[in-house]
Amino acid sequence: MRFPFVAESAAPCTHPPHPGLGVRGDSKHPRPVDIRAGAGAVTVVLAFLAWFGLALPAAAMTIDGDLSDWLAAAPAGTVADWTPRPGIAWSEEDQIHSYLGPGYGGQHYDMEAFYATYVGSDLYLAIVTGKAPASGSWEPGDIGLDLDGDGLYDYAIVTFAGGLGLGVAGDVYRADDWALGLWTQPGEHIADWHHPPQSLAGAGTAYQAAHPTVVTAGSPVGHTSLTYTEATYGGAVPTQLGAYSSGYGRHYVIETRVPLDLLGLAVRPEAIDLHWTMACANDWGHLRIRGGAVTHTESVPLPGTWLLVGLGLLGLRRRQPVVSQVR
């Protein structure tokens, strides 16, 4: 694979650049601080409720960074590009502003969309971001998985080798400790931004602790397939992806498959909370996938009192998290 050079400042973009750089229109609206759903968040609650009879994701998904496994239609340069195929939990917060929340950096640090689905006993994940692998001074972070809803990420999937964290891309760790980002609150960074905390114990605020970056201590439990590459659709790099495609930088996909037994699970848990950010935590994403998410390989029993509750869509746009859950 060939990764294009992406010019980035060695600084974490802790202050906004010149007003004319990387900004279209107004800045992002601030949101209330919450350790699970604050500025920069991508939070999932509900978008699909379907018992049967709907088109569902393919049983076979290839770990290659191709979004045709995930998206409902070929990208056409609109916000609807991010809509996934039915049966996929998702959220999106694509933007082109310099301020991302909690930090700055524009497209080079943008966390754009998060997708998850089950196929049998495997959990498939895809992250779309403007953060190129091996670019700039702040490396990509690890994917965190919280299995019990306590706000602590029990497992980590390494996305990038080298730097602050453990292992190589695709390694799965039972996480004992995490490094943290630069932001104690949206827009407020630590004094020594060259040296972010290397332990959860170093967190200055609950907000900072809620957004770990890379696993720094833990036990390896296995290795899985993972790719981090420029986004494609149908084997080709799309000319447009999302509403801000033209002239605002490239898109990259982190895609992986996690067998549940690597997480010590025999069956799907009630829910898994997923998290991803980069080492500076300039932007971050959160997604919750329910254990009842279905794939087309499964038959769903008919409810005793009703046939179909229906399909609910919460189509909240831009920093009003698109929420999605299949039960």
Task: Determine what percent of the chain is predicted with pLDDT higher than 70.
Answer: 68
- The pLDDT score that the predictor gives to residue 290 is 87
Q: Is the predicted pLDDT of residue 46 greater than 90, yes or no?
A: no
Q: Does 229 score more than 80 pLDDT?
A: yes
Q: Which of 121, 178, 169, 117 is nearest to 144 (CA)?
A: 178
Q: What is the pLDDT of residues 107-129, one digit of tens each?
A: 888 999 999 999 999 999 999 99
Q: Which residue has the tokens 């340069």?
A: 77
Model pLDDT, residue 25: 28
Residue 311 confidence (pLDDT) above 70: no
Instruction: Determine which of 15-19, 142-146, 234-238 has the lowest per-residue pLDDT on average.
Output: 15-19
Q: How confident is the model at residue 268 (pLDDT cuts 50, 70, 90)?
A: very high
- Report the candidate in 93, 109, 88 with the shortest Cα–Cα distance to residue 31: 93
What would the mean pLDDT of 150-172 be, rounded to a whole number? Answer: 91
pLDDT digits (tens, 9 = 90+) for 181-208: 999 999 999 999 888 999 999 999 999 9
Backbone conformation region of residue 262, classed left if phi is above 0, alpha if psi is from -120 to 50, else beta: alpha
Residue 292 confidence class, pLDDT cut points 50, 70, 90? low
Residues 6+ apart with CB under 8 A from 231: 65, 67, 128, 237, 238, 241, 250, 251, 252, 253
- pLDDT (0 to 100) of residue 244: 78
Distance CA 57, CA 229 (A): 22
Cα–Cα distance, 125 to 97 (Å, whole number): 26
Residue 59 confidence (pLDDT):
56
* HSE-up of residue 139 (Cα within 13 Å, Cβ side): 21
pLDDT band of 137, cuts 50, 70, 90: confident
Whether the pLDDT of residue 262 is over 90: the answer is yes
Residue with tokens 């994917």: 143
Range with the largest mean pLDDT of 130-144, 152-166, 264-278: 264-278
Mean pLDDT across the chain: 75
- CB of 231 closer than 8 Å to CB of 255: no
Instruction: List pLDDT tens digits, range 166-180.
Output: 999 999 999 999 999
Task: Kindly provide the residue ranges of all beta strands, DSSP E only, lying in the chain, ordered along the sequence.
Answer: 89-92, 111-119, 122-129, 143-146, 155-157, 171-180, 183-185, 188-189, 212-223, 226-230, 252-259, 271-277, 284-290
Residue 156, pLDDT > 50, answer yes
Q: Residue 114 carries which side chain, given as an amino acid letter?
A: F
Report residue 110 CA to chain centroid gap: 10
> Residues 61-95: pLDDT tens digits?
999 999 999 999 999 989 999 999 999 999 988 87
Nearest to 137 by CA among 251, 7, 15, 231: 7
The number of beta carbons lying within 10 Å of the beta carbon of residue 115 is 28
Given this model, what pLDDT does residue 67 score?
97
pLDDT at 134: 77
pLDDT for the residue 246: 59
Q: What is the pLDDT of residue 125?
A: 98
Q: Please state the domain extents for the chain.
A: 67-290
Q: For the whole model, what pTM was predicted? A: 0.75
